[in-house]
Structure 1
Amino acid sequence: MTRRRTTTADRLATLVGSVVGGPLPVRIRAWDGSEAGPAGATVLHVRSRRALRRLLWSPGELGLAEAYVGGDLDIEGDLAQGLSTVWAAHRSGAVDAPSIGVRKVPSLIGTAVRLGALGPRPPAPGQAQLSGRRHSRTRDRAAIAHHYDLSNDFYELLLDDSMAYSCGYWTDGPDGDLADAQQAKLDLICRKLGLTPGARHLDIGCGWGSLICHAAQHFGTTSVGVTLSRQQYEYVSKRVADAGLGDRVTVVHADYRDLAEGGPLAQRYRGFDAVSTIEMGEHVGDAEYPAFTQLLHDVLRPGGRALVQQMSRSETRPGGGAFIETYIAPDMHMKPLGTTVSLINGSGLEIRDVHALREHYDWTVSAWARTLEDRWDEVVTMIGEVGARVWRLYLVGGALAFAENRMGVDQILAVRPDPTGQASMEPSRRVWES
């Protein structure tokens, strides 16, 4: 009986199985065309030895992501299904998160030598280049620029006409329209904040101006938006001028800390009827978050309302992970919902409502991902092949994280009580249902 020759794919399967501590839930196709693993399973195509080298240098999510982004690794067929298969195997305990223990090193090195995969660490494709102290003003500015100053043309392609880059509110469910979901979200925020004609409204981290323009146009507010992104500031300034909203909408290019007590903008921006911050708190950092929530309190008049829309992840079910926090939004940090609520409450604000929108973010990100695929060639022209693959992995993986409850997003409504402790809000019904 002739013994079957050990193929490159066999060696890869053995190597990766050793790293994850169990049989692979996917089928491997190696760079020489050989295959190994369960028949009919999702195919992981290892296109070059460099993919393996990346995994040896970074035996975890980041190494796998870099191999995919760099084109050294592909999942054939439905990327979401492939990622879901791997996560399901991890949840069931069939495989562990990739790791290399000391006892595994000799055999792994031997296999890597036979496969010709040893060598210097490959450069990280498309990774943010940041320096300095984490969450210093200079580093925060660079981190924001890496993500948001990518290209206005790209975001205009990816998003709907509102340019809202945050979770929509899908009143018609997942079969609804993205533009309708974003308009419903903007309306929802304005109703929760109790905005009425003449109300003074501050939006910290205003993005491309969707909320401040919507509030002024449809609720009659005088709104101020603050952004650290130069490109967003220039875009919103033109948007406001083109819409004829210059008398009611102001955009400020500044660090949010400039509004804090003692900051250069502190005295000018106080006494607001409402303050919002939509998916900006994830960029603030743990050490800085108490001061951030104190700012939300301080900019309000007594009786004024605050709305925080923020992503979350639990300590036991991590969500965003090393890839998102390295390639997409550097230094971003998502904390458990309970921690965020506690910190907001600790600033002196009273929590009035917490509204979970987790499924809505799955539907929102999935809509962006469909647009990315439908207009793939245009995306590649705008941001390059590596950039396009970064965004594909980000959007597909992000939608899956919300769908599988590894990440959440919530709207947290709070109020600054008056000196007697009163909230100036009706306690018997939810404000947005009026």
Structure 2
Amino acid sequence: MTPPATLTRPGAAHRLVSAAETALGGPLPVRVRTWDGSEAGPDGGPVVVVRSRRALRRLLWQPGELGLAQAYVTGELDIEGDLGDGLRRLWAAARERGRHTPRLSAADRARAAGTALSLGAVGPPPAPPASQARLRGGLHSRARDRAAISHHYDLSNAFYRLLLDETMAYSCGYWASEAPGFTPADSQRAKLELICRKLGLVPGARLLDVGCGWGSLTLYAAERHEARVTAVTLAREQAAYVREQVRERGLQDRVEVVCQDYRDITGGGYDAVATVEMGEHVGDAEYPAFAAALHRLVRPLGRVLVQQMSRGRNAPGGGAFIEAYIAPDMHMRPVGETVGLLEGAGLEVRSVESLREHYVRTISAWHRTLEERWGDVVALVGEETARVWRLYLVGGALAFEERRMGVDQVLCVRPTAEGCGGMSPTPEDWYTGLEGP
């Protein structure tokens, strides 16, 4: 007599993939492995490893990008294989599904709830990871802005020394050469030189560096172009680093470092004003006042350079993960809208240059450094924060690659009352020699 066949329940991966494909209205673009060792989904690509039921519970309470990010940074979910390839496939699927968003029936929802219950994923919401920003107060109040900047930039100077090159420039480089010996540091120096040329700096010129970071532009302009620079930052760690560099390089007579909000900058009459990737932190409602401050602080015929990230016309910009973990309260808009706001403040826009492809290379270089120094990074800031940065850098490079985000240099001049801009109608050899010797 033949014994009856034993009915085996499908593994957690099969049930999870089936529920996900029903919800998404199509096949998953990645393979899935779950905590019980079962696998399902297409072969030949990255594998999403769901290490615990807690990851699913996060997605039940925070469906979408934020829930996935929380599970990833805690290690409850991982990607086996190329993280960038996995994110690229997921974004491509999201774009495709966006055109055909499925409508779940009551039966579909009941089936999904039953699957979650059977997998043990039902329960109270897990606490957010420790690395997630927790801000209080009114949006873009001085105190909240200070806390938002501190969350990201005061992580520690030691961390940024590990991540960045010797220029300590934490912004898009300018890859002026394809030569094998052209390094990330060379790309940053080329960017700094390009900014100084666009601003027309000459010895003794007064430059205001708003959101100076670790002082790469401030120090370069003071040393190479003999400008007199006022450097402004909200981050205490950054201000301390720049002051230390000023002392070491003997630039006390050329550089003043001020730790304050841009809204508190007094005076004016600067020959040039630069703000490099700081405008994203200003806020949408506050940007007209920020643009007006740039106009007020520069003298007539003085120049203003804004290097700022943008978003594609139909793209979300930073997204839930970036705003929760990297740059809380940031706001990006299409570059044309920023140009309009600068013009509305009375500045004449003379040049707009996209650096989008340059940022793909810059962020990819930072990511390589992160992986090469992974052990040192984990020892300094912990595994969770290291994973935040891995996800941030890989996802950021992909966003610029796919034109969901951009970055641009916008050069303006404050014209005289008679409308004179005082600039040559040609670029005046801005780009000559940037590729180095």
Q: Sort the TM-score into its range (normalised by shorter chain).
A: over 0.9
Report SS of the residue matched to 1:352: strand
Alpha-carbon distance in 1 for matches of 2:332, 2:100: 23
Give, in angstroms, the shift of residue 42 of structure 1. Answer: 1.7
Q: Is residue 429 of structure 2 the alignment partner of residue 425 of structure 1?
A: no
Corresponding position of 1:285: 283
1:178 corresponds to which of 170, 173, 184: 184
Contact 1:20 1:96 in 2 (8 A): no
1:359 corresponds to which of 357, 367, 370: 357
Alpha-carbon distance in 1 for matches of 2:163, 2:425: 40
1:32 corresponds to which of 36, 43, 55: 36
Superposed, 1:215-254 pairs within 5 Å as 215-254=221-260
TM-score (norm 1): 0.94
Corresponding position of 1:84: 88
Alpha-carbon distance in 2 for matches of 1:152, 1:180: 21
Return closer, same or farther for 1:183/1:42 CA change in 2, 3 Å cut-off. same
Q: Is residue 163 of structure 2 the alignment partner of residue 149 of structure 1?
A: no
Corresponding position of 1:369: 367
Q: Which amino acid aligns with 1:121?
A: P
1:338 corresponds to which of 336, 339, 343: 336
Superposed, 1:191-230 pairs within 5 Å as 191-230=197-236
Alpha-carbon distance in 2 for matches of 1:275, 1:430: 19
Contact 1:274 1:305 in 2 (8 A): yes
Cα-to-partner distance string for 1:360-383 (whole Å, 9 max, x where unaligned): 000000000000000101000111
Contact 1:160 1:179 in 2 (8 A): yes
Q: Is residue 169 of structure 2 the alignment partner of residue 164 of structure 1?
A: yes
Alpha-carbon distance in 2 for matches of 1:25, 1:106: 24
Corresponding position of 2:144: 139
Contact 1:327 1:390 in 2 (8 A): yes
Return closer, same or farther for 1:200/1:96 CA change in 2, 3 Å cut-off. farther
Give, in angstroms, the shift of residue 234 of structure 1. Answer: 1.1
Cα-to-partner distance string for 1:381-404 (whole Å, 9 max, x where unaligned): 111010000000000000111111
Return closer, same or farther for 1:83/1:401 CA change in 2, 3 Å cut-off. same
Give, in angstroms, the shift of residue 92 of structure 1. Answer: 3.3
Q: Which amino acid aligns with 2:325?
A: Y
Alpha-carbon distance in 1 for matches of 2:83, 2:101: 19
Cα-to-partner distance string for 1:346-373 (whole Å, 9 max, x where unaligned): 1000000000000000000000000000
Alpha carbon RMSD of aligned pairs, Å? 1.9
Q: Which amino acid aligns with 1:152?
A: N
Cα-to-partner distance string for 1:244-285 (whole Å, 9 max, x where unaligned): 0000011101100002xxxxxx2xx31001000000000000
Alpha-carbon distance in 1 for matches of 2:116, 2:124: 13
Alpha-carbon distance in 2 for matches of 1:143, 1:194: 33
Give, in angstroms, the shift of residue 431 of structure 1. Answer: 5.7
Report SS of the residue matched to 2:430: helix
Report SS of the residue matched to 1:305: strand
Contact 1:308 1:413 in 2 (8 A): yes
Report SS of the residue matched to 1:197: coil
Alpha-carbon distance in 2 for matches of 1:25, 1:285: 36
Return closer, same or farther for 1:101/1:249 CA change in 2, 3 Å cut-off. farther
Report SS of the residue matched to 1:179: helix
Contact 2:169 2:214 in 1 (8 A): yes
Q: Is residue 295 of structure 2 the alignment partner of residue 297 of structure 1?
A: yes
Alpha-carbon distance in 2 for matches of 1:296, 1:42: 47
Give, in angstroms, the shift of residue 429 of structure 1. Answer: 3.5
Contact 1:22 1:94 in 2 (8 A): no
Give, in angstroms, the shift of residue 96 of structure 1. Answer: 7.2
Give, in angstroms, the shift of residue 206 of structure 1. Answer: 0.4
Unaligned runs of 5+ in 1: 260-265
Corresponding position of 2:53: 49
Give, in angstroms, the shift of residue 22 of structure 1. Answer: 1.8
Corresponding position of 2:408: 410
Corresponding position of 2:63: 59
Alpha-carbon distance in 2 for matches of 1:97, 1:189: 45
Worse-superposed segment, 106-115 or 360-369: 106-115
Return closer, same or farther for 1:402/1:273 CA change in 2, 3 Å cut-off. same
Return closer, same or farther for 1:402/1:114 CA change in 2, 3 Å cut-off. same
Contact 1:135 1:285 in 2 (8 A): yes
Contact 2:34 2:51 in 1 (8 A): yes
Return closer, same or farther for 1:99/1:317 CA change in 2, 3 Å cut-off. farther
Alpha-carbon distance in 2 for matches of 1:352, 1:191: 14
TM-score (norm 2): 0.94
Report SS of the residue matched to 1:15: helix
Corresponding position of 1:106: 110
Return closer, same or farther for 1:96/1:382 CA change in 2, 3 Å cut-off. farther
Report SS of the residue matched to 1:196: coil
Contact 1:45 1:75 in 2 (8 A): yes
Give, in angstroms, the shift of residue 124 of structure 1. Answer: 1.2
Report SS of the residue matched to 1:432: coil
Corresponding position of 2:435: none
Cα-to-partner distance string for 1:125-176 (whole Å, 9 max, x where unaligned): 1101111111000000001100000010000110011110000000114953
Corresponding position of 1:307: 305
Give, in angstroms, the shift of residue 100 of structure 1. Answer: 7.8
Contact 1:170 1:360 in 2 (8 A): yes
Alpha-carbon distance in 2 for matches of 1:360, 1:103: 49
Return closer, same or farther for 1:66/1:95 CA change in 2, 3 Å cut-off. farther
